[in-house]
């Protein structure tokens, strides 16, 4: 099977994007995987530090590896938004396919220093094991937390400059870059800014590495399609599926207050996650 690096390159060539969806439990995983498999497209499962602690690093790796090897399916595991070298190292050691070191709040000097440390460690593990590992970093702060916000967080939304992106990639050696181009983490009640597709293209040409769009929940369809055309290769969605899961579960409990069988209570939540992911994957992959 091709590596995630090869699938990212293929997505660029086809003018599509790989969907990245976070999980906190088995129900979310099943909803995402069922949607991806029904369309036969590659998919990335993400675990933030908090999600990783709840699910378990080794458990997540084992689950993804079993599906990939047993069913020969292109499903990959990413350590989403890790904030220290130690946490990135732990994910790499556990067997994640990709990691994101998120130091956008730090000074450029500190961001470069720790990001380079993560890249060097990934290269060391790749040399010793032959396993391909992608390292992604962020440049430009777009807020934090996959939740519902009243307004855009203070300090978020300052866009990444193409020349800074180029310099950052050269200094760190990262494989992928998550720039600030208009999106904000979470759902914003007042509405999200639009994606600056012109800036996306400028950063892609300048940085010369694949670009990742974070904070995809709540964006208009046209923002996604324009971003993909301009050079985005991976798109992150989390809050949308959390909200779908939450609403479906509450409705299931309301309709069946006497039910005590977990898989019966939780099935509507799985179905709700699957629907959101299916719609997004169709859009990202230009499928009807």
Write the pLDDT tens digit of every residue in 243-260: 999 999 999 999 999 999
Inter-residue contact 138 to 102 (CB < 8 Å):
yes
User: Would you give the end-to-end CA distance of the chain in angstroms?
Assistant: 26
Q: Cα–Cα distances in Å, from 27 out to 85, 133, 256?
A: 30, 27, 19
Check whether 154 has a pLDDT greater than 60. Answer: no
pLDDT score of 217? 72
- Model confidence at 141, in pLDDT bands (50, 70, 90)? low
Domain at 4-243+275-284, CATH class = alpha beta
pLDDT score of 113? 96
Would you please indicate which residues are annotated as catalytic (active-site) residues?
80
pTM to 2 decimal places: 0.92
Q: Which segment of 120-124, 186-190, 271-275 scores lowest on mean pLDDT?
A: 186-190
Choose among 177, 143, 136: nearest CA to 160. Answer: 177
Check whether 184 has a pLDDT greater than 70. Answer: no
pLDDT tens digit string along 190-238?
Answer: 555 678 899 999 999 999 999 999 877 778 899 999 999 999 999 999 9
Residues near 193 by beta carbon (within 8 Å), at least 6 away in sequence: 152, 157, 182, 183, 184
pLDDT score of 139? 86
Which of 147-162 are b and which e, b meaning 16 or more Cβ less than 10 Å from the residue's Cβ? eebeebbeebbeebbb
Helix (H) or strand (E) holding 92: helix 85-94
Alpha-carbon torsion (111, 180, 28, 247), positive or negative: positive
pLDDT tens digit string along 55-86?
Answer: 999 999 999 999 999 999 999 999 999 999 99
Average the pLDDT over 106-133 and give the result: 96
pLDDT score of 148? 57
Choose among 135, 221, 220, 145: nearest CA to 178. Answer: 135
**More confident: 107 or 188:** 107
Check whether 186 has a pLDDT greater than 70. Answer: no
The backbone torsions φ and ψ at residue 78, rounded to the nearest 5 degrees and listed phi first, read -120, 135
Inter-residue contact 247 to 272 (CB < 8 Å):
yes
pLDDT tens digit string along 161-178?
Answer: 999 999 999 999 999 999
């Amino acid at each position: 099977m091709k590596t995630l690096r090869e699938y990212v390159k293929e997505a660029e060539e086809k003018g599509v994007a790989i969907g990245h969806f976070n999980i906190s439990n088995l129900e979310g995983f099943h909803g995402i995987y069922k949607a991806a498999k029904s369309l036969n497209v590659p998919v990335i499962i993400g675990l933030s530090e908090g999600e990783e602690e709840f699910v378990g690093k080794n458990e997540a790796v084992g689950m993804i590896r079993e599906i990939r090897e047993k069913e020969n399916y292109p499903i990959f595991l990413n350590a989403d938004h890790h904030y220290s070298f130690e946490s990135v190292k732990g994910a790499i050691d556990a067997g994640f396919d990709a990691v994101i070191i998120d130091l956008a709040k730090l000074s450029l000097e500190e961001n470069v220093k720790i990001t380079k440390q993560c890249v060097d460690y990934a290269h060391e593990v790749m040399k010793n094991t032959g396993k391909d590992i992608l390292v992604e970093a962020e440049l430009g702060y777009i807020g934090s937390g996959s939740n519902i916000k009243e307004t855009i967080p203070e300090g978020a939304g300052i866009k990444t400059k193409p020349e800074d992106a180029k310099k950052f990639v050269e200094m760190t050696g990262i494989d992928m870059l998550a720039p600030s181009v208009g999106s904000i983490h979470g759902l914003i009640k007042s509405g999200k800014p639009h994606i600056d597709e012109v800036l996306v293209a400028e950063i892609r040409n300048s940085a010369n590495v694949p670009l990742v769009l974070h904070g995809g929940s709540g964006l208009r369809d046209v923002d996604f399609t324009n971003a993909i055309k301009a050079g985005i290769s991976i798109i992150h969605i989390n809050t949308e599926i959390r909200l779908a899961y939450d609403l479906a579960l509450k409705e299931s409990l309301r309709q069946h207050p006497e039910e005590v069988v977990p898989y019966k209570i939780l099935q509507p939540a799985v179905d709700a996650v699957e629907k959101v992911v299916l719609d997004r994957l169709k859009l990202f992959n230009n499928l009807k």
